[in-house]
Amino acid sequence: MPDARNPDWQVIRTSHASALIDSQVTALADLRPTPWIVMAPERTLCWNGQEYRFGPGLGGDIADPAEVIAAARSLATAGADNELWDGIAPVRLHPDAVDIVSSPSLASLRGKAIDCRMCDLCRPATRTVSGEGNPEARIIFVGEQPGDQEDLQGRPFVGPAGQLFDRALKEAGGNRAQAWITNAVKHFKFVPRGNRRIHQKPDATEITACSPWLAAERKVLAPKVTVMLGVTGASAVLGRQVTVSRERSRPIPLADGSIGVVTVHPSYLLRLPDEESKTREYTKFVTDLRMAISALAG
């Protein structure tokens, strides 16, 4: 039980929004096994040494430390049937599809994604690589999965394919700062070979397991245009098998009334063997991006 006289319990009060709690769960978990309770205005997170529990927030107007301790005590000791917990959906430390899709904001999604255990790819990967960009973006780009550099830096499209993408986007008249960049799968899939990590394509089970993250991102952002970079991004968004060559370069109406555009993945351009096909395919890629950007105006 949290008590001002009991040094085993730490009661931490913060005026930060609960998104902070979400994003700090992993760091806070390092405090184990000491029990603690973090109280934010809209939400409380309690670790009793064995399990996490989210509870109602403290509100903004309790000034007396004794009242804070009293609120912490009643939260920490509240059972599942205590009225304090009524109507509060349990949030697991490892979020499930319902937790993910009900996320109200991109910040909350990012916080939850840190602890993603939706499939086994989370084990060897360094970290979850969440989408990033402008939270007001009207255009979103969906790639396949983070690569080696993305896994190390924790940001999507920052390695060689990302650099090529940035160049093409600029040439098409776009701007990464105004877009949202993400992937169908949020963990790097690889096999180790010597001191290198060789990219592996995610399979259908992994893409499906990861799909709530992309669905939630698109729900919160509600972009006007979704650009699918390559077959994995396209099948994740369209929910079916896709042949890129057949479906690229034209607007595709999406179920939510927005516009989809399928194009190649920039790493396809990097793999092309000769300069002539590289130049030709790069030009087509830029044309697709330009078409997607112009769909924003319609």
Q: Which stretch binds ligand URA (CB under 6 A): 75-83, 151-159, 243-251, 270-278?
A: 151-159
Which residue minimizes CB distance to ligand URA? 143
Q: Does 147 bind ligand URA (CB under 6 A)?
A: yes
Binders of ligand URA among 240-279, rule CB under 6 A? 267
Q: Which stretch binds ligand URA (CB under 6 A): 18-26, 46-54, 63-71, 143-151?
A: 143-151
Q: How far is the CB of 233 from ligand URA (least distance, A)?
A: 7
User: Of 35, 95, 133, 159, which one interacts with ligand URA (CB under 6 A)?
Assistant: 159
Cβ distance to ligand URA smaller for residue 16 or 196: 196
Collapsed DSSP state (helix, strand, coil) of residue 13: strand
Q: What is the DSSP letter of 153?
A: H
Strands (E), 109-162: 132-133, 139-143
Strands (E), the chain: 10-13, 36-39, 43-47, 52-56, 132-133, 139-143, 180-183, 190-193, 196-199, 225-229, 251-253, 259-263
Q: What is the DSSP letter of 248?
A: B
User: Of 143, 202, 223, 260, which one interacts with ligand URA (CB under 6 A)?
Assistant: 143
Q: How far is the CB of 269 from ligand URA (least distance, A)?
A: 12
Q: Does 9 bind ligand URA (CB under 6 A)?
A: no
| Contact call for residues 265 and 233 (beta carbons, < 8 A) | yes
Q: Does 151 bind ligand URA (CB under 6 A)?
A: no
| Long-range contacts, 197-200 (Cβ 8 Å, 24+) | 197/148, 197/151, 199/147, 199/148
Which one-letter amino acid corresponds to residue 263?
T
Q: Which residues pair with 226 in a beta bridge?
A: 140, 260
Mask 160-189, x = binds ligand URA (CB under 6 A)? -xx--------------------x------
User: Of 99, 150, 151, 288, which one interacts with ligand URA (CB under 6 A)?
Assistant: 150
User: Of 18, 44, 108, 145, which one interacts with ligand URA (CB under 6 A)?
Assistant: 145
Q: Does 131 bind ligand URA (CB under 6 A)?
A: no
* CA gap 261, 220 in Å, rounded: 20
Cβ distance to ligand URA smaller for residue 153 or 208: 153
Longest Cα separation, the chain: 75
Q: Does 213 bind ligand URA (CB under 6 A)?
A: no
The structure tokens 């609960």 sit at 18
Number of residues in contact with ligand URA under rule CB under 6 A = 13
The structure tokens 């929004």 sit at 17
| Contact call for residues 157 and 150 (beta carbons, < 8 A) | yes
Structure tokens at 201: 């394509």
Cβ distance to ligand URA smaller for residue 72 or 158: 158
For ligand URA, the binding residues (CB under 6 A) are 143-147, 150, 156-157, 159, 161-162, 183, 267
